[in-house]
Amino acid sequence: MDLGAGVKLLILDVDGVLTDGGLYYDHEGNVTKRFNVQDGLGIKIAQSFGLDIAVITGLKHGAVEKRVRELGIDEYHAGHVDKVPLMDAIRGRLELERSEVAYLGDDWVDAGVMGAVGLPMAVSNAQPEILALAKWISQRAGGHGAVREAVMFLLRCRGQYDAAWEKWS
pLDDT tens per residue, range 57-76: 998 888 899 999 999 999 99
Q: Is 2 exposed, middle or buried (0-12, 13-18, 19+ CB in 10 A)?
A: exposed
Q: Residue 20 and residue 101: Cα distance in Å, rounded?
A: 23
For residue 93, pLDDT beyond 90: yes
| pLDDT band of 2, cuts 50, 70, 90 | confident
* DSSP structural state of residue 141: P
Nearest to 42 by CA among 8, 17, 71, 5: 71
Angle between helices 37-48 and 161-168 (to 10 degrees): 110
pLDDT digits (tens, 9 = 90+) for 113-137: 999 999 999 999 999 999 999 999 9
The stretch 41-53 carries a mean pLDDT of 98
Percent of the chain with pLDDT over 90: 89
User: 74 vs 9, 11, 55, 67, 99, CA distance in Å?
Assistant: 13, 12, 9, 12, 21
- pTM recorded for the entire structure: 0.95
How many other CB atoms are found less than 10 A from the CB of residue 10? 26
| pLDDT band of 23, cuts 50, 70, 90 | confident
Residue type, 118: G
Evaluate whether 143 touches 126 at the Cβ level (below 8 Å).
no
Judging by DSSP bridges, how do beta strands 24-25 and 31-32 pair with one another? antiparallel
Percent of the chain with pLDDT over 70: 99
